[in-house]
């Protein structure tokens, strides 16, 4: 936890009495009529007192609102110091970092109130401790298509991504990570990060382009079976037409009336041949995929801080595949 200097009610008293009463308007603001300046300081003092009360009661969200109201009426680095502390208590570490830096941005003169200089000293020390608490997400991206660029989104906000990934400081808690790139499936994951940790996320993008190697072997084998079935049925129908012609055309002399039967026989024969060829090729490919694919391990993604390595791929035994009418022969050992 950030170590806070004892800057609570005692320092606020110095702020409200010294800064709001004795000190004039900030140098960065245009001076207004004396009555308006006095009223602004009184209003800021009221909001500041309420802010400290809310802070000490543990109602940090309300304390932030009170101190912001005080700051709108009268600028004082102590307001931002308390805002930073309250944001830190709420786990809003990035906002707290920005608020601490706002305290340090003020250029205080030699005659600045002690409360203001003490606020800057406290902010400087507490900011150093706060930075050690801010976690980081490191995204390692693999599988980006050549010539393409991945886009990384964290909680809906786009991050700058390099050739291999991106990194960003975040508040502790759960964050939604999304990575996209052309022709690959989007990657999405909820990432849990804790204070002071660097959470590494390995993203392995997978292509959405379909190739034979990505189609399950059973599907290809099924298509091959359909092709062989078509070849078998149409082949039988073609033979039936040929037998009918043999019966109607003795001595192979046919009349014009039998011409359609001959055309049907030739067409069915062609379809049968194509069915056997295509079906045989697909069936052979399907069997090959069934043999090889069980040993292919698909890419995985991990949020582990240690890299994972895929086991060596076992190579399938060379196969000898032959297709014929109504059959398929596969040789090899499995």
> Rounded to whole angstroms, how far apart are CA atoms 78 and 41?
14
Hey, which CATH number is domain 9-133, 1.10.10, 1.10.3470, 1.25.40, 1.10.1200? Answer: 1.25.40
Task: Give the pLDDT confidence score for residue 317 in this predicted structure.
Answer: 44
The answer to whether 129 and 2 are in contact (CB under 8 A) is: yes
CA-nearest of 83, 130, 128 to 102 is 83
The kind and range of the H/E element at 168 are: strand 165-169
Burial of 92 from C-beta contacts in 10 A (0-12 / 13-18 / 19+) = buried
CA distances from 172 to 114, 139, 193 (A): 34, 16, 5
pLDDT digits (tens, 9 = 90+) for 161-214: 877 789 999 999 999 999 999 999 999 999 999 999 999 999 999 888 655 455
Secondary structure tally for the chain: helices H, strands E:
8, 9
DSSP, collapsed to helix, strand or coil, labels residue 258 as helix
Q: How is residue 64 written in tokens?
A: 């932030």
Domain 136-204 - what CATH class? mainly beta
Helices (H), the chain: 9-14, 34-56, 60-73, 77-89, 93-105, 114-133, 217-248, 259-292
Task: Give the pLDDT confidence score for residue 296 in this predicted structure.
Answer: 44
Q: How is residue 59 written in tokens?
A: 């109602």
Cα distance from N-terminal residue to C-terminal residue, the chain:
61
> Rounded to whole angstroms, how far apart are CA atoms 146 and 136?
28
Q: What is the DSSP letter of 15?
A: I
Query: Which residue numbers in the chain have pLDDT < 70?
Result: 1-36, 209-215, 217, 242, 245, 250-253, 258, 289-334
Task: Give the pLDDT confidence score for residue 239 in this predicted structure.
Answer: 78
What pTM was estimated for this model as a whole?
0.58
């Amino acid at each position: 936890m950030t170590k806070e200097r004892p800057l609570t009610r005692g320092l606020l008293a110095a702020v409200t009495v010294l800064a709001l009463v004795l000190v004039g308007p900030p140098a960065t603001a245009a001076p207004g009529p004396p009555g308006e300046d006095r009223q602004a300081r009184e209003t800021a003092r009221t909001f500041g007192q309420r802010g400290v009360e809310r802070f000490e009661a543990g109602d940090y969200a309300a304390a932030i609102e009170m101190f912001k109201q005080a700051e709108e009426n009268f600028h004082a680095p102590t307001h931002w110091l308390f805002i930073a502390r309250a944001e830190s208590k709420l786990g809003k570490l990035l906002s707290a970092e920005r608020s601490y830096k706002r305290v340090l941005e003020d250029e205080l003169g030699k005659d600045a109130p002690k409360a203001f200089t003490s606020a800057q000293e406290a902010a400087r020390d507490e900011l150093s401790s706060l930075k050690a608490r801010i976690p980081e997400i490191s995204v390692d991206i693999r599988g980006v298509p050549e010539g393409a660029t991945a886009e990384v989104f964290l909680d809906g906000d786009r991050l700058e991504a390099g050739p291999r990934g991106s990194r960003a400081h975040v508040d502790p808690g759960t964050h939604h990570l999304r990575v996209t790139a052309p022709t690959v499936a989007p990657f999405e994951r909820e990432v849990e990060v804790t204070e002071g940790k660097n959470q590494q996320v390995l993203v392995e993008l997978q292509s959405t382009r379909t190739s034979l190697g990505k189609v399950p072997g059973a599907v290809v084998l099924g298509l091959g079976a359909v092709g062989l079935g078509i070849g078998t049925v149409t082949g039988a129908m073609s033979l039936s037409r040929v037998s009918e012609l043999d019966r109607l055309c003795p001595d192979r002399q046919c009349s014009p009336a039998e011409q359609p039967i001959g055309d049907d026989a030739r067409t069915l024969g062609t379809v049968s041949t194509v069915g056997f060829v295509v079906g045989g090729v697909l069936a052979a490919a399907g069997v090959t995929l069934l043999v090889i694919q069980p040993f292919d391990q698909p890419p995985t993604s991990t949020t582990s801080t240690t890299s994972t390595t895929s086991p060596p791929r076992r190579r399938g035994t060379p196969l000898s595949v032959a297709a014929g009418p109504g059959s398929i022969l596969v040789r090899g050992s499995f």
